[in-house]
Amino acid sequence: MSKIKITQVRSVIDRNVKQKATMFALGLRKMNATVEVEATPQILGMVAKVNHLIKVENI
């Protein structure tokens, strides 16, 4: 599997509870935080749900 780098670029303040939980599950807890994860179907589904809050780069 390939890896992707996910960076939080927008705040989760005033967002849906499910979106907040998804960001937490991805490991993003603060603004401008970055995580590198495997691009599994589960992760890509979470990325699709919060794509307006993050920036995604292929590694």
pLDDT digit string, tens, across residues 12-57: 999 999 999 999 999 999 999 999 999 999 999 999 999 999 999 9
Can you read off the two tokens belonging to residue 5? 């780098």
Q: Report the distance separating Cα 56 and Cα 18, nearest Å.
A: 20
What's the pLDDT at 9? Answer: 98
What's the pLDDT at 53? Answer: 98
Instruction: Check residue 50 and report its DSSP letter.
Output: T
- Yes or no: say if 6 and 25 are a contact pair by the CB < 8 Å rule: no
Tell me how long the chain is: 59
The conformational region for residue 24 under phi > 0 = left, psi -120 to 50 = alpha, else beta, is: alpha
pLDDT digit string, tens, across residues 8-17: 999 999 999 9
